[in-house]
């Protein structure tokens, strides 16, 4: 059959995959079955580890439409394989949105006709109907076969139109417009429709299934390493090495049990976090205007939910179509500030054309969307009208579901250390292969029995690949995790601790991370008759109480009262408190008395109002009170939109006929919506002056609305009609203070050659000012702002370069941002003043699209990225990773979730559930956790290197001993192996990992991989030293005058230990363990393990010195003492247990000298490697002009010789149509 092209699933998304379709082939299955039997099940294991081999060996290619099995491969850098079985479901229609009006059947019964409906999620049947009834109900239509498969908790359905599998997410699949949501989806579904849709969308729950211990055990045990251990244990048992086999089994059981406990605990924690409040009872509107109570698990997209007035936890994503809600979204955003959600505007009702009627999108209309897992605190409603929301997504398609999926199925962490570890193991396997061949040849030459040849040659492999390696490697990480926990940093992805040791760039959010969370009012600057007044400290004045400026401050906010307490955005709260006014909300009882929602009312305190004239007693008291009251009712609220950068309210003063519109927002935006004559001429200078000083500036504006705008018309008018032709009122100046710890921490990072970048949603000049204040940009450095404009009116896109402010002093002539460590300093191209780029989110988007080859140059020196949207923050992290930076991200969780997850090391300063997305969460709400994490990461990384080097040497030392002994058909004894592996290796490995991190961050970075010059050189020299000294001992003992081939009656010590000889003579030594060579090598090799442990246990500059690691020092000294004791003063019981033979005292002294010289040479060589290697490397670099490895260093080198870089302040860069080769932009001088 002809091969079909690859299908691509989730095109352009993060989880994009290529799909190949297969169908089962019987003869191939039979062949594989025979192969499995012949290999004793090993082939089955191999196919389990390699899903692509499994599919290709048992199936044949087919079209995607007829697939029985699909093979999927991710398109990211990891290229992972997945395998899924295609299932078939019977349903009354092809699409969940087909109308079932013509059918009277209840499609729930399909669940009974197909055993594998919805992957085991059988919808709740409505009553147990008999088979006859099923046949009768389904006689009207022909059931349709629907093909689907499930992968990572997502169902992919076959779509005939696009000839591909697609995910059904919910109502958004229909591309519904806002008016259609109101007209066609606001009535609700019939019970039949709901049950039919549930066939496709499944049960509405985010099911985190906690796997059974048995399932986890099977998955854990089938790990290639444990299979290798099982092979080793069987082999040792066949060779009667029972004790060692039992010890390894014991270690493996403990390791598996610990692993199972950790995995199970994480699943249970996630399950509990998700399950809390996920199943609730909800009221839904049926198509016949009935309200019915159902379980939240029954909800499907299109259902209309009634939100209870006392609030609820949302069980799905839905869009409000009537009423308003106050919601706590901390689960998603990390900010526990309540947010007001308003109903989705209905363009059809407002009498506007189709141009206003956009397609509903959760991201665009998030101010009207209630997300799953968020807490609705309270609702407000019109009398007789309920607060209703249309269900948009359910289950794993919701925002919360996506978050849980990203935790359940994370991307693997790609780190050089782990790739190098596998390469290293392969090298060990190659060494083992040489030993394997050597032992076979030697045994055949000596005519050894076949069984012994097989066992001994395979034994070499088990010696070379150490069984305790995984446990040893994770020890350092576990200790680091424990130390981090002690300083209040919690970690959900321990493997990332090592990666944090490599961080050389950290991105910081500004508000709440570098600066205090709240803003304080610094002052106000009012505008009258088109010019600024002098700035005033506050607006709490009798003279201003009835001014439009104060009215705007008092009304233009989204504050609400929750249990009598004012709550909402901290900025709104500070602004409202500064007026001293009082906010009153209508109670539910009051609302129910009126035909419409009662407005929120604000009024000044009595002491601020001017005294009223004395009235005559005959005046009607009530009328007087009404006339003297000064109250403003908020009639309509257009909530703050980060896209529009403003919010607006329509309010009415008590007793006034006409209404007023008040607007607040970003000064540039507000000024553009005001009449020209009302904006002061010096507006730009005043604004720039404030922002340069680091103040947050908000502008206010006002407009009297036409009298024809009634209350009902205002409810349906679009904000564009109101936010125009406004009068500029003035500026509110807020101060955002730096956190006390910020400057010192940033200074530490700079000293350690770690670059810092600010990524914020705030104003550009404010961000630059904060960057200067905290030391991110030194005072003498230049800041170049890149203003990019998209193509317009036939003109191409262009970037205008302007310098933010001139450096205060003569610039330093040096480059600091990029440390070109491994680059030769000869022929320095040009001295470069230190400069920083700053750009806004809009410019970033234009540069990404039209100047892609310039983007890397800009991120190389980009320090301030302002007004960045959440997805742009993630893109920036990816761009920085693209030039080989190891990127850290520190944010307070609010809009940083994506960036925190994408960075190599993301640290959330928020303890809320949003921190689940971040690998690290700090309990201390400031950035002092960043250097602590990097220090611990570096210590853990160096520990991993030390342990790996030690474990490699341990296996090679043992390999050398066994290979030398094989030459005389001897081996190490069972208890000798046991003593070396348990008493020496495990004790040393688990204590050498205990070195804490060094006190401060140093400018040097640790190596990122095992395959680096100094590291390999260190391992190779130590191997050669150990080989040399073992060979010396092995050959020297045979040249001793007292030497002869050992027999149970030998007595080289001249000791009359008659009983001992008799005892030995009764036991025949089958394996020829006891001999002089074995004893000599056992002593020398035992000391070698301890020597390399001490030599490799590096302290400064990344870890505390080893002598401060008391458990390690105690273990090493105890072992030294014990070994010297048994070597110089034999103890019969110990000698017998370890199968050591007695040798003359002078030979013991000679061995002692061999060991001393070995230790001296090892220490000397290791101490000389780093300085010698450094000199050698710099000489080589200068000789060859070697290019640096990291791409950002390479770029820095190129830019240092580019005469046009950085761009001059008088230039504009224009995008050109991209040529075949060369640059895609051109720099032009402004005339």
Span 190-226, pLDDT tens digits: 888 888 888 889 888 888 888 888 888 888 888 787 8
Residue 116 backbone dihedrals phi, psi, to 5 degrees: -115, 45
Active-site residue, 569 included: no
Work out the pLDDT band at 628, boundaries 50, 70, 90.
low
Tell me which residue of 817, 937, 810, 828 sits closest to 883, measured CA to CA. 817
At residue 495, the pLDDT reads: 79
At residue 331, the pLDDT reads: 64
Work out the pLDDT band at 1085, boundaries 50, 70, 90.
very high
Q: Is the pLDDT of residue 412 over 80?
A: no
* 3-state helix, strand and coil shares in percent for the chain, rounded to the nearest 5: 45, 20, 35
Work out the pLDDT band at 470, boundaries 50, 70, 90.
confident
The residue among 628 and 406 whose pLDDT is bigger is 406
At residue 949, the pLDDT reads: 87
Q: Is the pLDDT of residue 354 over 60?
A: no
At residue 1036, the pLDDT reads: 92
Sheet holding 144-151, edge to edge: 87-91, 144-151, 154-159, 164-167
The residue among 158 and 912 whose pLDDT is bigger is 158
Q: What is the mean pLDDT of the chain?
A: 79
CA distances (Å), 489 to each of 114, 410, 921, 1193, in order?
50, 21, 6, 32
Contacts of 563 (CB under 8 A, 6+ apart): none
Element (H or E) spanning 735, and its range? Answer: strand 727-735
Determine the Cα–Cα distance for residues 699 and 529; give it in Å rounded to an integer.
16
At residue 809, the pLDDT reads: 36
At residue 1228, the pLDDT reads: 53
Determine the Cα–Cα distance for residues 1166 and 1014; give it in Å rounded to an integer.
10
Q: What is the mean pLDDT of residues 349-368?
A: 70
Q: Is the pLDDT of residue 108 over 90?
A: no
Specify which residues 19 forms β-bridges with.
Answer: 7, 72
Work out the pLDDT band at 32, boundaries 50, 70, 90.
very high
If one counts every other C-beta atom within 10 angstroms of the C-beta of residue 1178, the result is 14
CB 346 within 8 A of CB 416: no
Q: Is the pLDDT of residue 848 over 80?
A: yes
Q: Which two tokens stand for residue 1128?
A: 């110089």
Work out the pLDDT band at 384, boundaries 50, 70, 90.
low
CA distances (Å), 764 to each of 755, 1130, 1152, in order?
20, 78, 71
Sheet holding 727-735, edge to edge: 531-532, 520-528, 727-735, 695-704, 660-665, 646-653, 632-641, 600-603, 582-584
Work out the pLDDT band at 893, boundaries 50, 70, 90.
low
At residue 721, the pLDDT reads: 85
Residue 544 backbone dihedrals phi, psi, to 5 degrees: -100, -5
Determine the Cα–Cα distance for residues 580 and 755; give it in Å rounded to an integer.
44
Q: What's the sign of the alpha-carbon dihedral 440, 446, 447, 449?
A: negative
CB 1224 within 8 A of CB 799: no
CB 394 within 8 A of CB 204: yes
CB 96 within 8 A of CB 196: yes
Say which range, 251-260, 537-546, 922-931, has the weakest mean pLDDT: 537-546
Work out the pLDDT band at 750, boundaries 50, 70, 90.
very high
At residue 277, the pLDDT reads: 63
Q: What is the pLDDT of residues 670-714, one digit of tens each?
A: 999 998 888 998 888 898 888 777 787 899 999 988 888 887 788
Residue 601 backbone dihedrals phi, psi, to 5 degrees: -115, 135
At residue 100, the pLDDT reads: 58
Q: What is the mean pLDDT of residues 85-108?
A: 68
Q: Is the pLDDT of residue 1132 over 90?
A: no
**Residue located via tokens 């809600």:** 325
If one counts every other C-beta atom within 10 angstroms of the C-beta of residue 951, the result is 21
CB 469 within 8 A of CB 951: yes
Tell me which residue of 725, 898, 838, 811 sits closest to 363, measured CA to CA. 898
Q: Which two tokens stand for residue 694?
A: 């680091």
CB 63 within 8 A of CB 5: no
Q: Is the pLDDT of residue 357 over 50?
A: yes
Work out the pLDDT band at 594, boundaries 50, 70, 90.
very low
Q: pTM, whole model, 2 decimals? A: 0.73
Tell me which residue of 1075, 1071, 1076, 1073 sits closest to 1033, measured CA to CA. 1076
Q: What is the mean pLDDT of residues 531-559?
A: 83
Determine the Cα–Cα distance for residues 886 and 1191; give it in Å rounded to an integer.
12
Say which range, 422-426, 822-826, 1047-1051, has the weakest mean pLDDT: 822-826
Judge residue 46's burial from the number of C-beta atoms within 10 Å of its C-beta, 0-12 exposed, 13-18 middle, 19 or more buried.
middle
Say which range, 49-53, 573-577, 829-833, has the weakest mean pLDDT: 829-833
Task: Decide: helix, strand or coil at residue 227.
Answer: helix
Q: Is the pLDDT of residue 129 over 60?
A: no
Give the active site residue among 509, 572, 762, 892.
509
The residue among 439 and 382 whose pLDDT is bigger is 439
Q: What percent of the chain has pLDDT over 70?
A: 82
The residue among 817 and 669 whose pLDDT is bigger is 669
Q: Measured at the alpha carbon of residue 547, what is the angle toward residues 543 and 551, in degrees to the nearest 5? A: 125
At residue 413, the pLDDT reads: 60
**Longest C-alpha distance within the chain, in Å?**
137
Determine the Cα–Cα distance for residues 241 and 336; give it in Å rounded to an integer.
62
Q: Is the pLDDT of residue 547 over 80?
A: yes
At residue 826, the pLDDT reads: 35
Q: What is the pLDDT of residues 979-1002, one digit of tens each?
A: 888 888 888 988 988 888 888 888
**Residue located via tokens 């025949």:** 1068
Q: What percent of the chain has pLDDT over 90?
A: 17
Q: What is the mean pLDDT of residues 78-88?
A: 89
In the chain, count H helices and then E strands: 40, 42
Say which range, 3-7, 340-344, 403-407, 764-768, has the weakest mean pLDDT: 3-7
Q: What is the pLDDT of residues 283-335, one digit of tens each?
A: 999 877 788 899 988 899 999 999 887 778 889 999 998 888 888 876 665 55
Q: What is the 3-state secondary structure (H, E, C) of 149-190?
A: EEECCEEEEEECCCCEEEECCEHHHHCCEHHHHHHHCCCCEC
Residue count of the chain, please give it.
1231
């Amino acid at each position: 059959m002809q091969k079909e092209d690859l299908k691509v699933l989730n095109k352009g998304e993060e989880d994009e995959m290529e799909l190949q379709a297969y169908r089962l082939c019987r003869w191939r299955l039979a062949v594989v079955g025979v192969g499995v039997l012949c290999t004793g099940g090993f082939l089955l294991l191999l196919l389990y580890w390699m899903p692509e081999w499994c599919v290709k060996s048992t199936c044949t290619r087919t079209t995607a439409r007829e697939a029985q099995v699909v093979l999927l491969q991710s398109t990211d850098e990891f290229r992972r394989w997945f395998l899924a079985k295609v299932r078939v479901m019977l349903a009354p229609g092809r699409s969940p949105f087909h109308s079932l009006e013509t059918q009277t059947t209840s499609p729930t019964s399909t669940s009974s006709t197909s055993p594998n409906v919805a992957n085991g999620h059988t919808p709740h049947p409505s009553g147990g109907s008999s088979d006859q009834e099923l046949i009768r109900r389904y006689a009207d239509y022909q059931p349709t076969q629907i093909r689907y498969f499930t992968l990572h908790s997502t169902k992919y359905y076959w779509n005939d139109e696009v000839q591909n599998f697609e995910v059904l997410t919910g109502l958004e699949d229909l591309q519904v417009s806002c008016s259609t949501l109101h007209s066609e989806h606001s009535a609700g579904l019939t019970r039949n429709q709901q049950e039919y849709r549930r066939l496709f969308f499944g049960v509405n729950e985010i099911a985190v299934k906690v796997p059974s211990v048995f399932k986890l055990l099977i998955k854990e045990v089938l790990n290639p390493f444990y299979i290798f251990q099982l092979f080793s244990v069987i082999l040792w048992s066949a060779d009667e090495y029972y004790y060692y086999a039992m010890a390894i089994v014991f270690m493996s059981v403990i390791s598996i049990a610990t692993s199972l406990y950790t995995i199970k605990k994480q699943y249970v924690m996630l399950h509990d976090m998700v399950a809390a409040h996920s199943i609730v009872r909800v009221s839904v509107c049926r198509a016949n205007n009935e309200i019915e109570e159902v379980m939240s698990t029954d909800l499907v997209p299109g259902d209309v939910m009634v939100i209870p007035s006392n609030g609820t936890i949302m069980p799905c994503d839905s869009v409000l179509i009537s009423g308003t809600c106050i919601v706590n979204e901390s689960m998603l955003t990390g900010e526990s500030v309540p947010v007001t959600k308003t109903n989705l505007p209905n363009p059809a009702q407002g009498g506007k054309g189709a141009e206003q009627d956009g397609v509903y999108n959760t991201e665009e209309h998030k101010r009207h969307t209630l997300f799953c897992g968020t807490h609705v605190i309270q609702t407000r409603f019109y009398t007789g009208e309920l607060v209703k929301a249309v269900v948009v997504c359910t289950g794993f398609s919701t925002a919360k579901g996506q978050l849980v999926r990203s935790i359940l199925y994370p991307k693997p962490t790609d780190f050089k250390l782990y790739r190098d570890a596998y390469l290293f193991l392969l090298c060990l396997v190659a060494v083992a292969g040489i030993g394997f061949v050597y032992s076979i040849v030697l045994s055949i030459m000596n005519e050894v029995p076949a069984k012994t040849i097989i066992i001994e040659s395979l034994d070499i492999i088990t010696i070379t690949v150490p069984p305790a390696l995984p446990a040893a490697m994770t020890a350092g990480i576990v200790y680091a995790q424990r130390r981090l926990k002690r300083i209040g940093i919690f970690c959900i992805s321990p493997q990332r601790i090592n990666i944090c040791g490599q961080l050389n760039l950290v991105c910081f959010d500004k508000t709440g991370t570098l600066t205090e969370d709240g803003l304080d009012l610094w002052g106000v600057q009012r505008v009258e008759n088109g010019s600024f007044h002098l700035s005033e400290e506050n607006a709490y004045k009798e003279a201003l109480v009835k001014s439009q400026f104060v009215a705007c401050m008092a009304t233009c906010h989204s504050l609400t009262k929750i249990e009598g307490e004012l709550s909402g955005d901290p900025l709104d709260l500070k602004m409202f408190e500064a007026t001293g006014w009082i906010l009153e909300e209508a109670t539910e009882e009051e609302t129910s008395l009126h035909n419409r929602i009662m407005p929120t009312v604000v009024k000044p305190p009595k002491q601020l109002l001017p005294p009223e004239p004395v009235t005559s007693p005959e005046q009607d008291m009530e009328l007087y009170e009404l006339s003297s009251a000064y109250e403003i009712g908020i009639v309509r609220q257009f909530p703050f939109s980060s896209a529009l950068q403003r919010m607006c309210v329509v309010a009415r003063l008590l007793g006034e006929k006409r209404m007023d519109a008040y607007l607040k927002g970003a000064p540039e935006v507000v000024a553009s919506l005001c009449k020209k004559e009302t904006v002061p001429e010096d507006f730009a200078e005043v604004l720039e002056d404030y922002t340069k000083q680091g103040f947050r500036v908000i502008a206010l504006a006002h407009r009297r609305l036409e009298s024809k705008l009634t209350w009902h018309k205002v409810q349906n008018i679009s904000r564009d009609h109101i936010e125009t032709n406004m009068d500029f009122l003035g500026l509110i100046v807020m101060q955002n203070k730096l956190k006390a710890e910020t400057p010192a921490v940033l200074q530490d990072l700079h000293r350690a050659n770690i670059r810092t970048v600010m990524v914020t949603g705030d104003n550009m000049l404010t961000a630059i000012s904060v960057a200067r204040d905290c030391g991110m940009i030194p005072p003498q450095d230049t800041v170049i702002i890149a203003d990019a404009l998209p193509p317009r009116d036939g003109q191409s896109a262009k970037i205008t370069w302007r310098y933010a402010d001139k450096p205060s002093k003569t610039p330093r002539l040096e480059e600091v941002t990029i440390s070109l460590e491994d680059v030769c300093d000869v022929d320095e191209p040009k001295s470069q003043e230190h400069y920083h780029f700053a750009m806004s989110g809009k410019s970033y988007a234009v540069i990404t699209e039209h100047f892609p080859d310039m983007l890397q140059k800009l991120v190389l020196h980009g320090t301030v990225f302002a007004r960045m949207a959440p997805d742009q923050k993630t893109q920036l992290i990816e761009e920085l990773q693209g030039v080989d930076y190891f990127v850290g991200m520190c944010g307070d969780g609010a809009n940083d979730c994506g960036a925190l997850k994408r960075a190599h090391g993301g640290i959330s300063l928020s303890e809320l559930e949003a921190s689940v997305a971040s690998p690290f969460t700090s309990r201390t709400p400031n950035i002092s956790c960043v250097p602590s994490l990097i220090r611990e990461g570096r210590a853990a990384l160096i520990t991993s290197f030390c342990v790996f080097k030690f474990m490699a040497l341990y296996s090679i030392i043992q390999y050398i001993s066994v290979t030398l002994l094989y030459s005389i058909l001897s081996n190490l004894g069972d208890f000798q192996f046991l003593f070396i592996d348990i008493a020496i290796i495990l004790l040393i490995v688990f204590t050498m990992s205990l070195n804490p991190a060094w006190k401060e961050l140093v400018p040097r970075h640790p190596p990122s991989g095992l395959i680096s010059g100094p590291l390999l050189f260190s391992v190779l020299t130590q191997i050669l030293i150990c080989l040399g000294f073992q060979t010396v001992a092995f050959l020297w003992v045979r040249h001793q005058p007292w030497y002869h081939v050992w027999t149970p009656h030998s007595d080289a010590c001249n000791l009359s230990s008659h009983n001992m000889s008799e005892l030995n003579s009764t036991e025949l030594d089958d394996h020829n363990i006891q001999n002089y060579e074995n004893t000599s090598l056992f002593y020398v090799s035992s000391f070698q393990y301890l020597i390399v442990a001490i030599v490799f246990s590096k302290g400064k500059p990344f870890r505390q010195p080893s002598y401060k690691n008391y458990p390690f020092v105690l273990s090493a000294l105890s072992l030294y003492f014990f070994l010297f004791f048994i070597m110089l003063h034999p103890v019969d019981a110990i000698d017998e247990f370890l199968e050591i033979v007695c040798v003359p005292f002078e030979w013991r002294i000679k061995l002692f000298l061999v060991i001393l010289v070995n230790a001296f040479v090892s220490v000397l060589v290791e101490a000389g490697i780093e300085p010698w290697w450094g000199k050698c490397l710099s000489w080589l670099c200068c000789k060859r002009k070697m290019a640096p490895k990291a791409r950002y260093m390479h770029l820095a080198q190129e830019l240092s010789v580019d005469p046009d870089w950085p761009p001059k302040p008088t230039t504009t860069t224009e995008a050109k149509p991209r040529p075949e080769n060369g640059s895609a932009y051109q720099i032009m001088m402004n005339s």
